[in-house]
Amino acid sequence: MKAVSGGKLTGDLYGGLTAAVIALPLALAFGVASGAGAQAGLYGAIILGLVAALFGGTAVQISGPTGPMTVVVASAITLFHGDINSVVTVIFLGGIFQMALGFLKVGKLVRYIPYPVISGFMTGIGLIIILIQIHPLFGADGFSSPLAAVRHLNTVFPGMNSADMTLGVLSLMIVFFFPKRLSSKLPSPLAALILCTLLSIVLSMDAATIGHIPAELPKLIIPDISLKHLTFVVSTALSLAVLGSIDSLLTSLVADSLTKTTHNPNKELIAQGLGNTLVSFAGGIPGAGATMRTVVNVKAGGRTRLSGVIHAVVLLMILLVFGSFAENIPLAVLSGILIKVGFDIIDYRFLRVLKKAPKHDILVMFAVLVLTVFVDLIVAVGVGVVLASLLLTYRIAQQTSTSFHEIPVNIEENEISRELQESTKYSIRVVDINGPFFFGSTTQIVGKIGAFLGTQVVIFNCSNVPFMDYSAVFALEEKISKLKSNNIMAVFVVNDNVREILIRNNITDSVPISHIFRNFDDAVTHAKEHIKKKVNQL
């Protein structure tokens, strides 16, 4: 880590401390929500926060447990019926997969994920967090599945505890309506946590609390990779890797915009994966780059990796010194804090422009949203990307058009030539292709090209084709073969880009290089000379 100047040191100290204050209630809340315990959230925040700060590709990023990662871990704990070894294995493999993504240099690809996919995914995550925290907010037994939470909404009030409800509603009011002028000095989640916990202790309220938190370093847990649940373990680990990568790199982009710097995406993925792998050995909750904590760090003055290190060290001190106080935090208060997090995750920017947004973008966004909430996170992202790609392909294909026209050829040298011209209508047929020529447009273009009976030469005018893929080349080769079987010559007019593509893909095996022109008039002249030469040979 590079030496830090005096000004930056002060900013990093304040930024790291402020980020830690924000991270504390969230780490506790995410740990409880996952089912692994509040200490698991702290372990994840400390270990991942430290490793990502030291080795990551985004200097000011603050990492720790996040909503998407917590949802996946909660699902894994439910799926494996609390088998901690299987859950630890999932987290361990998730970190390994994440590092593999970094080594394979796929970090930059996250920028190509369509925005409606990200919007639907984030809004879905927000709704999941809100739905599964409704029951605990009122002291009723919670559900790890959002679908189950919706089905059992009628059990909220029958299972309600008045103390939990009072503290939960109070925490909601604090996090939603806390004065902005005070939030810069005392973040609203921390204010809710402190005030509601003190109220619960002073009034001896009968509210469910976090319970015992070991004020010590975590014990080492060794992942147990067995074949018993291999399919579920690998698929869930892949979900963690993909979601953690998306979450981290999106936060990196936010950090870039705030600091006017450029992050290293692949280095960031490797560091995040290493951090999550180490988190698994401690039985902690995996995480990713956290947008809100990163923004707070930068706005508070954080400018180097030191701010992230300070954030982790402060959380470690809190764990070792104030762990006994945290045991008294009511669970309903954490639910209130998480519900606010859920609302913050929802993408209101896209929701505000729904009336103006293209229909295909709305379709993709809601498809991802529904799949995220009620099916599976990784399925939602996968389906969203595929659906968005198909719709984009259709739109681009619609921009490609084909037109046809003929260029007559006058041949009057002799009696035979005139008779042939009248009977066969010797002519040059021109096929104008305008727009991208790729797999999405080959069918509508090539399908329109008929047999060209009575034509001696077909000129494929591709001068207005910006790019061409292998599907288009293969389709052209097939058409050229059919033209040859009818003794019709094919000629091409292309720009430099398309010429290179055709030659690279061996189109010259079907069409001589002398039949490929850059100028349309030259192609027409060549075609006319070919026809006249052919007639004179009769």
Residue 414 has pLDDT above 70, yes or no: no
With a pLDDT cut of 70, the percent of the chain lying above it is 89
Mean pLDDT within 29-49? 90
The confidence band for 415, taking pLDDT boundaries of 50, 70 and 90, is very low
Burial category of 138 from C-beta neighbours within 10 Å (exposed 0-12, middle 13-18, buried 19 and up): buried
Residue 416 has pLDDT above 50, yes or no: no
Mean pLDDT within 147-152? 84
Check: pTM over 0.85? Answer yes or no.
Answer: no
The confidence band for 47, taking pLDDT boundaries of 50, 70 and 90, is very high
Residue 161 has pLDDT above 70, yes or no: yes
CATH 3.30.750.24 domain extents, the chain: 400-536
Please report, in angstroms and rounded to a whole number, the separation of the first and last CA atoms in the chain: 84
The pLDDT value given to residue 423? 42
The pLDDT value given to residue 535? 65
Q: Average pLDDT, whole number, for the chain?
A: 82
The pLDDT value given to residue 273? 96
The confidence band for 96, taking pLDDT boundaries of 50, 70 and 90, is very high
Residue 443 has pLDDT above 70, yes or no: no
Question: How many other CB atoms are found less than 10 A from the CB of residue 221?
Answer: 18
Residue 421 has pLDDT above 50, yes or no: no
With a pLDDT cut of 90, the percent of the chain lying above it is 18
Q: By the 8 A CB rule, do 40 and 285 touch? A: yes
Mean pLDDT within 72-100? 88
Pick the closest to residue 237 from 91, 379, 357 (CA basis). 91
The confidence band for 56, taking pLDDT boundaries of 50, 70 and 90, is very high
The pLDDT value given to residue 472? 82
pLDDT in tens, 478-533: 888 888 887 888 888 988 888 888 888 888 888 888 888 888 888 888 888 887 77
Look up tokens 């603050």; give the residue: 62
Q: Topology of 400-536 in CATH?
A: Transcription Regulator spoIIAA (3.30.750)
Determine the 3-state secondary structure of 280 from DSSP.
helix
Q: For 158, what's the count of Cα atoms within 13 Å in the CB-facing half-sphere?
A: 4
